[in-house]
Amino acid sequence: MDDYVFQFDQTNHCSNVFPLPSCPQKKIISPNLPSHLLLSFGNWRHESSPLLSFDELDRKPGEVKKRKIMHRDVERQRRQEMATLHASLRSLLPVEYLKGTRSISDHMHQAMNYIKHLQKKIEELSNKRDGHKKLCNPSSYHMEKTVENSEAAKQDVVTVRQCWIGVEVVINTEHEEGLPLSRVLQALVREGLRIVNCNSTKVKGRLIHTIESEVSNDGRKMDHSELQQKLTSLSLARFLS
């Protein structure tokens, strides 16, 4: 019986008859490779991947653990500080601003409303204070206002009003070359007034003379507007002399 030998490419034949699916090829390192080839392959693997290899993680377990512990400590400290600030904020808010609020954002919103309420209250109290100051001590209130209005002016400001004694005269003049107080007192005496009290105050480089006087018992009625006009003329006369 004759023997027949058939030669064919087994690999090509099988691939044509039974096509194999395309799968990613994995590099298999033979344990029998020389050491210099194994070293070069390891270097290629490290350079191609930006992530840490398992070998590097195995070599630095203490450093990774230390970083995790530091991160937890920083986060714990941050939360403690936030809790302390939140508790301090709650203690400053009135009870009516905390009703129905639970979250930190709600408390922050109520804190803003409380600040606006306080600002409005301060403005109202400031206006009320000025009103009481004007009623209780009109000379002091007028002194502050006239200094603001006539600080840059060279002329004197003369005000005559009625007070509990009789007549109050306020002179706002310059400190260096202002209206002499003696001339004002002489003019008041000539008008039949008796000086009871006299105070001088320096405010922003100007002198404020406050003179309280009473009318003499001669039956005369004092005209405040006329007296103010005479004192103003006395003030202007020093510029003409």
Element (H, E) at 208: strand 206-215
- pLDDT band for position 138 (cuts 50, 70, 90): low
Distances (CA, A) of 112 to 82, 104, 108, 117: 18, 13, 6, 9
pLDDT, residue 129, reads 80
Contact 75, 93 (CB under 8 A): no
Q: Which residues contact 78 (CB under 8 A, 6 or more apart)?
A: none
Does position 12 have pLDDT exceeding 60, yes or no? Answer: no
pLDDT at 198 over 60: yes
State residue 217's pLDDT score.
65
- 43 or 201: which carries more pLDDT confidence? 201
Task: Please say if the pLDDT value at position 212 is more than 80.
Answer: yes
| 161 or 53: which leads in pLDDT | 161
Residue 227: is its pLDDT beyond 70? Answer: yes
The per-type count for the chain, helices as H runs and strands as E runs, is 8, 4
The pLDDT score that the predictor gives to residue 56 is 54
CA angle 46, 52, 58 (to 5 degrees): 105
- For the question of whether the overall pTM of this predicted structure is more than 0.85, the answer is no
Report pLDDT digits (tens) over 69-114. Answer: 888 889 999 888 888 888 888 888 888 888 877 788 888 888 888 8
Q: Which of 16-25, 33-42, 75-84, 131-140 has the highest mean pLDDT?
A: 75-84
Q: What is the mean pLDDT of the chain?
A: 73
pLDDT of residue 144: 60
Q: What is the pLDDT of residue 139?
A: 57
Which of 180, 173, 158 is closest to 204 using CA atoms? 173
The residue ranking higher by pLDDT, 2 or 179, is 179
- Triad 173, 177, 181: Cα angle to 5°: 55
Q: Which residues, 6+ apart, have CB-to-CB distance to 178 below 8 Å?
A: 156, 206, 207
CB under 8 Å to 8, separation ≥6 — which residues?
none
